Structure 1
Amino acid sequence: MSAAFDLSRYDPKDPDPWLALYLDQSLPIAPEAKTALLMGNRSWSRRWMFNIIRPAVFAFFLLVKIVRGISPHHPNLNGFLHRLIHWGLRTFCTPEANTLILRHFHIGTELLGFIKANAGPVEVETVPLRPRTLKDLEDNVFLQHDLNVFNFIIQLNASLRAQGRDLEPVETPDFSMISDAPFELAPLPKGPLNFVDVQTAIEVYTPLYALCLPRSDFVRAAGSLQLDETVAIYIAKILGSDYHLAFMKNGHPLVPLSSLQAGYRLMMHGLDCEGLHGWLRLLKARQAQGLPLDPRNPTGAA
């Protein structure tokens, strides 16, 4: 257990809400991810700075939307944007925030890889994203992440439609691409200025994303945040179980939410993906132990 959540300090007369969430097992999130998220949530950056800067960020976001309404294609500063993100994360963000951001790309790669491996013969091509360092993010990682998701959905469904079929339950799913251990990340900066939590960083980064990229790229990025349920439904068809859909709280993309909510939805997107990946990791362990995949039917009895 992390020293930050020491059960020996538990006081029933003054229970720590963060300790309660740390011990809670309602979501199958990797311990290292949950610790990083809770450390950010309890930080002064999240509790104070986030609320102070949010009105200014919102006003800036409105201005950016006006600019993009007038000029939807220019400027296109993708390379500058990724270098700016790298510099900001390296200079100001906590190791916990940077851990969550780097983890997200590994998780996205593995979730799509699971669907592809268990979809039967399909023609799908995406770019695996495995950043180990913050410098790796400069290689168009954020934009490629969005392209991967939409290209995957288009190519997967086009291939399935051409064959006149849909995803079906797999008797013995292939979990080989789902990592068991924590992702191997390089040491992250921990200097005097590395104090910003992940949600505050995302709130600042979102309007900059909208400003530096063409409108179509930002609209696609904002739309991708609501694809968690879509991906989870694909996985439900493969597993023959919809239990994990209870984890998905980001809304279905057929009813799009305002891009002004993109910062919060990006946090929810990260949480959804962590929960879904953790669920597959749990099922992989059950399969290795010879147990039924559905924990609600632990004996396999009818």
Structure 2
Amino acid sequence: MNSVYITSTPGVQVEMNPLEPTNLKEVENDLSLNHDLNLYNFVIILNRETREKNIEVTKQEKLNFNAITTETIPIEEMPNRRTNLLDLTTAIECFTPIYQFFLTDNDFWRATNSLQLDETIGILASKELKNKQNA
């Protein structure tokens, strides 16, 4: 896995370690947790860098898309089982009560209501994409 530097804000670089699972075994090893940690760490590092360097996240004419690939990811063939009839949303709904069973009430609600991170990332993206008419 190669590190990539992501952010379009000049003077700020956030090193990330991309997750590129190609089979189910790689998903078993805390992939979801590592995905969330990558997102949280991105926001934490970006905020720390901008604060330390006194840089503000603002509209950018040229955005950095180097963390996105158009290459085909070589994902191994999925097993053909009767459980393959579930879509992702249904699988998540089936998983949620089991997930809740292993967490405290407070941790469960904190995990399921983590939209604050989505809002933070949305605000950062909107600052870099800001329309000149609304600037």
TM-score normalised by structure 2 residue count: 0.73
Separation (CA, whole Å) in 1 of partners of 2:45 and 2:106? 20
User: Of the two, which has the highest radius of gyration?
Assistant: 1
Q: Secondary structure at the match of 1:202?
A: helix
Deviation at 1:214, TM superposition (A): 6.0
CA 1:184–1:141 in 2, change beyond 3 Å: closer, same or farther? Answer: same
Tell me what 1:171 maps to.
61
Separation (CA, whole Å) in 2 of partners of 1:216 and 1:124? 31
1:168-199 alpha-carbon deviations (Å, 9 max, x no partner): 22222222322235543221122334222221
> Which of 104, 113, 118 pairs up with 1:228?
118
CA RMSD of aligned residues (A): 3.1
In terms of fraction of residues, the more helix-rich structure is 1
The answer to whether residue 17 in structure 2 is matched with residue 130 in structure 1 is no
Separation (CA, whole Å) in 1 of partners of 2:16 and 2:70? 22
Matches within 5 A, 1:54-203: 116-122=6-12, 124-203=14-93
Separation (CA, whole Å) in 1 of partners of 2:49 and 2:114? 21
Query: Residues 122 and 156 of structure 1 are in contact (CA less than 8 Å); yes or no, is this contact kept in structure 2?
Result: yes
CA 1:215–1:150 in 2, change beyond 3 Å: closer, same or farther? Answer: farther
Deviation at 1:135, TM superposition (A): 1.2
**Identical aligned pairs, as a percentage?**
37
Higher relative contact order (CA 8 A, sep 6+): 2
In terms of fraction of residues, the more strand-rich structure is 2
> Which of 239, 244, 251 pairs up with 2:129?
239
Deviation at 1:136, TM superposition (A): 0.6
1:42-83 alpha-carbon deviations (Å, 9 max, x no partner): xxxxxxxxxxxxxxxxxxxxxxxxxxxxxxxxxxxxxxxxxx
Query: Residues 4 and 67 of structure 2 are in contact (CA less than 8 Å); yes or no, is this contact kept in structure 1?
Result: yes
Separation (CA, whole Å) in 1 of partners of 2:66 and 2:40? 23
Deviation at 1:201, TM superposition (A): 0.7
Query: Residues 122 and 160 of structure 1 are in contact (CA less than 8 Å); yes or no, is this contact kept in structure 2?
Result: yes
